[in-house]
Structure 1
């Protein structure tokens, strides 16, 4: 009797845990596919990467490039940025001040790469847009962390 109860308990426990394990497995597989697809060259070795919601940033130390991936409802953005062509990068916030509370509300958040060549246009990576998502979920910390890391690689 105790053996049957134990087996039923183990079966029900396994049945409850299985969806979580399956979701974790498919999520890891999806992230690996995104990392592989960030670079057009399959031999590129990504040395560091991070995901934040629907986007990912990665760095290849061998090529000294930063790769950006973001998927929205309308489009998918993939960009490879050679760090040798840029002198600096920074987080650029577009804010809207609410006069009643005097709070600044971030409308847009971008990582902007400033070119070494004066006639070459700066590159802006869209991290957050209030029109697409109402709530920020760590995008500011994500952007600041990556800008600090990239600045170290630019100097």
Structure 2
């Protein structure tokens, strides 16, 4: 094989691989920024993140010793933070909001984790993992939603068991 063909081959492979490398690097940078924002927010509220997950437009973290949740929803225009003390929560459930299309199909519009407070006076918390107006395609948001619903409900059930013991 001659040197010219080898050089052209290497350049072609580099040009083809470059977008994937840059996309991966950009995604990792974005995830790191979300995690740092979440950690700083938790610290401002006296918590430490011991378990976390980063999505495309959200970050969620748990302080396992204090049973608090820190949540960040980030769009291109804004960031919305929520801090939740799970001792004030009665119930956690998944809210899958769908919309109907003209040909009798339904598509996911929003995926939320709703946390109902113990007191009627306090507003419930709505953690939005997916919104079709922000992100056009679901990736792993539903798996994340189910995972965090299970984690939070385990904490709430343990709290209930400790109260009755």
TM-score normalized by the length of structure 1:
0.75
Q: Does 1:112 align with 2:98?
A: no
Give the unaligned 5+ runs of structure 1.
Answer: 1-16
Shift of 1:71: 1.3
Shift of 1:54: 2.3
Give the count of matched residue pairs: 154
Shift of 1:66: 0.7
Q: 1:150 aligns with which of 143, 148, 152?
A: 152
TM-score normalized by the length of structure 2:
0.71
Q: Secondary structure at the match of 1:44?
A: coil
Q: Secondary structure at the match of 1:73?
A: coil
Q: 1:137 aligns with which of 115, 139, 142?
A: 139
Task: Give the root-mean-square deviation of aligned CA atoms.
Answer: 3.4
Deviations 1:75-96 (A, max 9, x none): 1112111111101111111111
Measured in 1, the distance between the counterparts of 2:134 and 2:28 equals 25
Give the unaligned 5+ runs of structure 2.
Answer: 1-16, 158-165
Distance 1:22 1:45, change over 3 A: farther
Q: Does 1:95 align with 2:98?
A: yes
Judging by fraction of residues, say which structure has more strand.
1
